[in-house]
Structure 1
Amino acid sequence: MTDALNWKPAATPKAESIDGRFIRLEKLDPARHGDDLWEVLQGPGSDPVLWDYLPYGPFNERAAFDSWLQGNAAGHDPLYFTVIDRASGQAQGMLTLMSIVPDHGRIEIGHIAFGAAMQRSPKSTEAVYLLGKLSFELGNRRLEWKCNNANARSKRAAERLGFQSEGVFRKHLVVKDHNRDTAWYSITDDEWPQVATGFERWLSAENQQDGGQVRTLEACRKG
């Protein structure tokens, strides 16, 4: 737990490659990742509700999608990572570190767009774990998760991943011409060690068997 009286700003994240057991995170590179991302996010087998609560998309034309990727890759906040499936080498999704405020040690995981092959799999969980681990190694005090309060799937994911609910900001944003009430979640630096241990137990070879998980992530967090 950080002592506010001796606070030192967190370091700023860089989009460097991070290796996990199931995935590798790489800086978004439209030239290398674009074909795969178009297929998994917009192709015939893509998630039909993926774009419902994102402030952009869906993309009906490849040119518009490529332009969107180029803009994302050029930015630093949000800082985009591509998720690479280590078994196949395919780019299967994206997520970011965003709302980066080093002076106060605050950072958020957001802009999550996972292809169908990542959803409800160890790959999606490991992607969040790796960015959470990086966030706290950089010296942050607080890791945030925010979503539309109507997005039940994202809220369930936040709670499963160990984020604590902090309430709802009513009429927070207007997104795609609709009101967005925003649900806020966080993990703090003093909570992270237990959350991280739960991730590591859940992702381990002992827990991930051919038939699926042995114990749930929530159970692994409890000990």
Structure 2
Amino acid sequence: MTSDFKNEFGQPVGRPAENWTKRPLPPRSDMIGNHVIVSPLDITRDAKQLFEANREAMDGSRFTYLFTDAFDGFDAYRSWLETMAKNDDPMFHTIIDKASQKAVGVAAFMRIDVAFGGIEIGNINYSPALSQTIGGTEAMYLMMKRAFDELGYRRYEWKCDDQNAPSRAAAARYGFTYEGTFRNHIVYKGRNRDTAWFSITDLEWPMVKAAFEAWLSPDNFDDNGKQRRSLQSFRK
């Protein structure tokens, strides 16, 4: 698609990035919603609760497209979390259900590019207690809001195994745009991964944000907590 912007030679160029400066790293502070708190991973507080929450999905299928398999024992899971908690990238966060005050999932900011303003959401692992809940959607909104509104990033990425149909569907539901598939991208768990890439840009964020906020409004849910309108419908 030809740009509307031209340089002094009349050649099409990208839109100006006026007064651009490098972005800060995400702070290690809570993101608080009405249903969940997205909080930097705290091993002492979270490890046992996360392990127990994951054990509700006994067959380990929720780990199929992650880089680790399900953990049989708590000690191994805690050791892995301790390794993850030391990193600034990926920067792991725990998703805490406000009603129960229990840790029910994790997600991480990763591939953090402060120079050019790109950041990825990844390592998402929702337990059964968080999957397909209002809080699960709210957690994604809170992390996007931090990246765009608080920190001024320009690009928010989502990547997944091309075979991971639920993840691809989630990306579309949240408002990401499919950009393409990197074939033979990586090898994990002894198998090839073609990686599907999705993104939201700073220009798209206002529409995406408005849709999230309209969907999350209490008016959008009946007395049984069933949505009246889908998230996608608010972007049309």
Q: TM-score scaled to structure 2, two decimals?
A: 0.90
User: Which aligned segments of 4 or more residues in structure 1 are displaced greater than 2 angstroms?
Assistant: 44-48, 208-211
1:49: how far off?
A: 1.5
- Counterpart residue number, 2:198: 185
Q: Is this contact kept in 2: 1:98–1:110, CA < 8 A?
A: yes
Aligned length: 220
Q: Secondary structure at the match of 1:63?
A: helix
Q: What is the deviation of 1:45?
A: 4.2
Q: Cα distance 1:50–1:108, how it changes in 2: closer, same or farther (>3 A)? A: same
Cα shift at 1:47? 6.9
Larger Rg: 2
Matched, 1:133 2:153: no
Q: Which runs of 5+ in 1 are unaligned?
A: none
Say if 2:65 and 2:164, in contact at 8 Å, map to a contact too. Answer: yes
Say which SS state the counterpart of residue 35 (structure 1) adopts.
helix
Structure 1 residue 111 corresponds to structure 2 residue 123: yes
TM-aligned CA deviation for residue 9 of structure 1:
1.3
Match 1:159 to one of 172, 186, 190: 172
Distance 1:27 1:5 in 2: 32
Cα distance in 1 for partners of 2:80, 2:178 equals 31
1:21 — aligned with what?
34
Q: Does 1:202 align with 2:215?
A: yes
1:221 CA displacement = 2.1
- How far residue 15 of structure 1 moved from its aligned partner, in angstroms, is 2.2
2:168 alignment partner AA:
K
Alpha-carbon shift at residue 53 of structure 1 (Å): 0.3
Give 1:70's aligned amino acid: E
Give the match for residue 181 of structure 2.
Answer: 168
Q: What is the alpha-carbon distance in structure 1 between the residues aligned to residue 154 and residue 59 of structure 2?
A: 34
Name the structure 2 match of 1:217.
Answer: 231
User: 2:35 is aligned with what amino acid?
Assistant: F
Does residue 19 of structure 2 align to residue 11 of structure 1? no
Out of 68, 91, 106, the position equivalent to 1:56 is 68
Question: RMSD across aligned C-alpha pairs, in angstroms?
Answer: 1.3
Q: For the residues of structure 2 that align with 1:214 and 1:74, how far apart are their CA atoms? A: 42
- 1:35 alignment partner, one of 17, 35, 48: 48
Distance 1:86 1:15 in 2: 19
Structure 2 regions of 5+ residues with no counterpart?
1-14
1:46-125 matches, cutoff 5 A = 48-125=60-137
Pairwise CA distance, 1:7: 1.4
Equivalent position amino acid for 1:167 in 2: G
How far apart are the structure 1 equivalents of 2:202 and 2:56?
A: 41
TM, length-normalised to structure 1 = 0.95
- CA distance in structure 2 between the partners assigned to 1:186 and 1:63 by the alignment: 36
Q: CA deviation at 1:46?
A: 5.0
